[in-house]
């Protein structure tokens, strides 16, 4: 049983690991690094060499986990994709949108990189998909071993359809968590863990942060409620830059609930079209996603689909909320265009709810003080509006990761990189609490998982 991390950069953005077990070649996710252009964002597939690739186990549909699927299938056309039905529906949406944006950027001269794949290429993926549901298991046949490996799917609690995979090898059992969230969010319940495993391969995304050690989602909702009321009293509007998948649906539910309970004024809410398409999928799979409120449906929320002509009337009076992408204010996105118009005016607000990577316009807005200039590509804009950052993470906190590992009791823990010093903070938290060997994985290095 051997593992190689294939991520495209030292910061581990773009999740992709190769696992060789009992004659079966398995890729754990096939992500892309969205901070890099073109082929630079792809995992290093050459590190697999001549080993077989039989299966791609897709944990969920965020592009940093599924974005390189078309490239992988071009090289290994006989490989099969295993994921939940909801994850595949969302993956098709994500990859289609990505293909359209790559093609547009290239032909408009905004990117020198030829598109990695087209919408037509995506049609070929469908025949490779094998669906599995939460709680189900199946045998994965291998090129070098027809008996293969037994795999079971466990709800990861991250977004709709997300799962972790428990792989039963002849000599050991490995649980790959994927992106996991133990605590319930606003729409979906928390993760459902396996009873045991010899080894756990886990992400450490938010293990660096102390925020969720002492603060709750309820605290953040109350803070958001207060901030919305403050801006509304001044007659301003609010931009909430979001990622279309996951965060947008969580915030849409929160805003709908606050309006319904009279905790915020009945402001118009405008949602990006792509986020609304994702909400349709959430509704279509409501019965199988362990939704906290089974009777809730996004189609019943009172929202408008955002259209570009709304940009020209943001200063016409009356407070409104804009829930649009991108979450980091990527150039030429809907949120970027709105931010340019709201930023110079003190009555408005820009409320972030997710991570903004260094070097993005979103990060620059967050760091800028009142009156300081923010570079927007077509010129600098002074920041005078209210800027806030809210914490609605869909990742397990450090405390929750420790709880997860204590419940499973593995003898070996394999740590993938997270933000900042996540691995060091988690290792420190585990000291004296878990009798297990803890390993930090390195990109490109083959790690033998079984002791000699």
**Per the structure, how many domains does the chain have?**
2
Q: What pLDDT, on a 0 to 100 scale, did the predictor assign at position 22?
A: 94
For the chain, the first-to-last Cα distance in angstroms comes to 11
**346 and 323 within one domain:** yes
Task: Note whether 351 and 227 are within 8 A (CB).
Answer: yes
Q: What pLDDT, on a 0 to 100 scale, did the predictor assign at position 301?
A: 86
d(CA 260, CA 266): 8
Q: What pLDDT, on a 0 to 100 scale, did the predictor assign at position 19?
A: 97
Q: What pLDDT, on a 0 to 100 scale, did the predictor assign at position 111?
A: 81
pTM score, two decimals?
Answer: 0.94
**254 and 282 within one domain:** yes
What CATH number has the domain bearing residue 336?
Answer: 3.40.50.10890
> Residue 442 has what DSSP assignment?
-
d(CA 205, CA 422): 7
**278 and 167 within one domain:** no
Tokens of 122: 């995506």
Q: What pLDDT, on a 0 to 100 scale, did the predictor assign at position 62?
A: 96
CA distances from 171 to 9, 25, 140 (A): 32, 16, 16
- Kind and range of the H or E run holding 25: strand 24-28
Q: What pLDDT, on a 0 to 100 scale, did the predictor assign at position 52?
A: 95
d(CA 319, CA 337): 18
d(CA 257, CA 275): 18
d(CA 375, CA 360): 10
Q: What pLDDT, on a 0 to 100 scale, did the predictor assign at position 211?
A: 78
**225 and 367 within one domain:** yes
Tell me which residue range forms the domain holding 233. Answer: 216-389
d(CA 238, CA 253): 17
Query: What is the full per-residue pLDDT of the chain (452 aa) written as tens digits?
Result: 999 999 765 544 789 999 999 999 999 999 998 878 888 889 999 999 989 999 999 999 999 999 999 999 999 999 999 999 999 999 999 999 999 988 888 888 878 888 889 999 998 899 999 999 999 999 999 998 888 899 999 999 999 999 999 999 999 999 999 999 999 999 999 999 999 999 999 999 989 888 766 778 899 999 999 999 999 999 999 999 999 999 999 999 999 999 999 999 999 999 999 999 999 999 999 877 777 787 889 998 878 888 777 767 776 668 999 999 999 998 888 999 999 999 999 999 999 998 888 888 999 999 999 999 999 977 899 999 999 999 999 999 999 999 999 999 999 999 998 777 899 999 999 999 999 999 999 999 999 999 76
What CATH number has the domain bearing residue 135?
Answer: 3.60.15.10
**72 and 20 within one domain:** yes
Task: Note whether 334 and 244 are within 8 A (CB).
Answer: no
Q: What pLDDT, on a 0 to 100 scale, did the predictor assign at position 420?
A: 73
d(CA 404, CA 180): 10
**423 and 364 within one domain:** no
Please spell the DSSP secondary structure of 61-102, one letter per residue: --HHHHTTHHHHHHH-TT-EEEE-HHHHHHHHHHHHHHHHHH
> Residue 291 has what DSSP assignment?
B
**181 and 50 within one domain:** yes
Q: What pLDDT, on a 0 to 100 scale, did the predictor assign at position 223?
A: 96
**427 and 366 within one domain:** no
Lay out the sheet containing 163-168: strands in order across. 137-140, 149-155, 163-168, 173-176, 199-202, 412-415, 437-440
**306 and 160 within one domain:** no
Is-cis flag, bond preceding 147, omega within 30? no
Q: What pLDDT, on a 0 to 100 scale, did the predictor assign at position 8?
A: 64
**419 and 383 within one domain:** no
Task: Note whether 23 and 148 are within 8 A (CB).
Answer: yes
- Domain end (from 343, 374, 389): 389
d(CA 354, CA 430): 27
| Closest by Cα among 93, 92, 82, 21 to 57 | 82
- Domain end (from 354, 371, 389): 389
Q: What pLDDT, on a 0 to 100 scale, did the predictor assign at position 315?
A: 65
Q: What pLDDT, on a 0 to 100 scale, did the predictor assign at position 452?
A: 64
**298 and 233 within one domain:** yes
**144 and 89 within one domain:** yes
Pairing of strands 149-155, 163-168: antiparallel
Helix 273-284 vs helix 247-260: crossing angle, to nearest 10: 80
Q: What pLDDT, on a 0 to 100 scale, did the predictor assign at position 370?
A: 96
Pairing of strands 412-415, 199-202: parallel
- Give the other-Cβ count within 10 Å of 407's Cβ: 12
Task: Note whether 225 and 258 are within 8 A (CB).
Answer: yes
């Amino acid at each position: 049983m051997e593992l190689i991390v294939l991520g495209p950069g030292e910061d581990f953005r773009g999740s992709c690991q190769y696992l060789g077990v009992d004659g079966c070649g398995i890729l754990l996710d096939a992500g892309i690094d969205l901070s890099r252009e073109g082929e630079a964002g792809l995992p290093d597939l050459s590190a697999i060499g001549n080993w077989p690739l039989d299966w791609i186990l897709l944990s969920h549909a965020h592009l940093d986990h599924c974005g390189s699927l078309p490239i992988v299938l071009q090289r290994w056309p006989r490989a099969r994709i295993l994921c939940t039905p909801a994850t595949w529906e969302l993956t098709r949406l994500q990859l289609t949108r990505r293909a359209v944006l790559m093609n547009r950027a290239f032909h408009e001269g905004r990117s020198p990189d030829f598109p990695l794949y087209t919408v037509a290429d995506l049609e070929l993926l469908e025949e490779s998909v094998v669906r599995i549901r939460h709680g189900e298991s199946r045998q994965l046949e291998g090129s070098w071993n027809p008996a293969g490996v037994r795999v079971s799917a466990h709800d990861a609690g991250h977004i709709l359809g997300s799962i972790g995979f428990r792989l039963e090898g002849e000599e050991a059992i490995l649980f790959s968590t994927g992106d996991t969230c133990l605590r319930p969010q606003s729409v979906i319940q928390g993760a459902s863990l396996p009873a045991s495993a010899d080894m756990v391969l886990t992400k450490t995304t938010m293990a660096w942060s102390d925020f969720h050690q002492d603060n709750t989602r309820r605290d953040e909702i109350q803070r958001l409620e207060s901030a919305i009321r403050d801006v509304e009293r001044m007659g301003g509007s609010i931009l909430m830059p979001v990622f279309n998948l996951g965060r947008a649906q969580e915030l849409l539910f929160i805003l709908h609930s606050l309006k319904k309970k009279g905790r915020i004024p009945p402001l118009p809410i405008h949602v990006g079209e792509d986020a609304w398409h994702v909400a349709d999928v959430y509704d279509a799979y409501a019965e199988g996603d362990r939704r906290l409120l089974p009777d809730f449906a996004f189609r019943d929320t009172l929202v408008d689909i955002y259209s570009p002509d709304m940009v020209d009337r943001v200063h016409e009076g009356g407070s409104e909320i804009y829930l649009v992408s991108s979450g980091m204010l990527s150039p030429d996105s809907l949120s970027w265009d709105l931010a340019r118009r709201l930023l110079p005016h003190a009555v408005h607000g820009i409320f972030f709810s997710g991570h903004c990577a260094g070097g993005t316009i979103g990060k620059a807005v967050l760091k800028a003080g009142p009156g300081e200039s923010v570079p927007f590509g077509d010129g600098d804009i002074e920041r005078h509006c209210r800027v806030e950052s809210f914490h609605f993470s869909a990742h397990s906190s450090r405390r929750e990761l420790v709880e997860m590992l204590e419940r499973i009791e593995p003898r070996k823990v394999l740590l993938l990189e997270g933000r900042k010093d996540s691995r060091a903070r988690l290792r420190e938290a585990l000291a004296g609490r878990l009798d297990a060997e803890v390993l930090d994985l390195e990109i490109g290095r083959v790690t033998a998982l079984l002791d000699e």
